[in-house]
Amino acid sequence: MDFYIDGKVVNVGDVIKDFRGDSHVFSGVSMAPSPGRSGKIIVNSWTSGTGREFYPSVFEGEIK
């Protein structure tokens, strides 16, 4: 599975911005917990380096 923003694949290490304009470093995609549910993307905070998971819509993207 890949994560796309504006139809372009996002690569590990790319800096992406959330809907608030905050920058994060893309780390990967987590699998959906069960069929029919959405996976999440894993990012590290640009400032603290702390890893978090978000739904793709936070970054106006999609998992395919």
Domain ranges, ordered by start, for the chain: 3-63
Strands 15-17 and 23-30: antiparallel
Q: Structure tokens of 15?
A: 């800096």
State residue 35's pLDDT score.
75
* pLDDT (0 to 100) of residue 57: 94
> In the CATH scheme, what is the code of domain 3-63?
2.30.30
Tell me the CA end-to-end span of the chain in Å, nearest whole number: 6
Q: Write down the pTM of the prediction.
A: 0.84
What per-residue confidence (pLDDT) applies to 14? 97
Instruction: Please give the pLDDT value at position 24.
Output: 93
**CA-to-CA distance for 62 and 56, rounded, in angstroms?**
5
pLDDT value at position 45? Answer: 82
The list of the chain residues with pLDDT below 70 reads none
Q: 45 is written with which tokens?
A: 């905070």
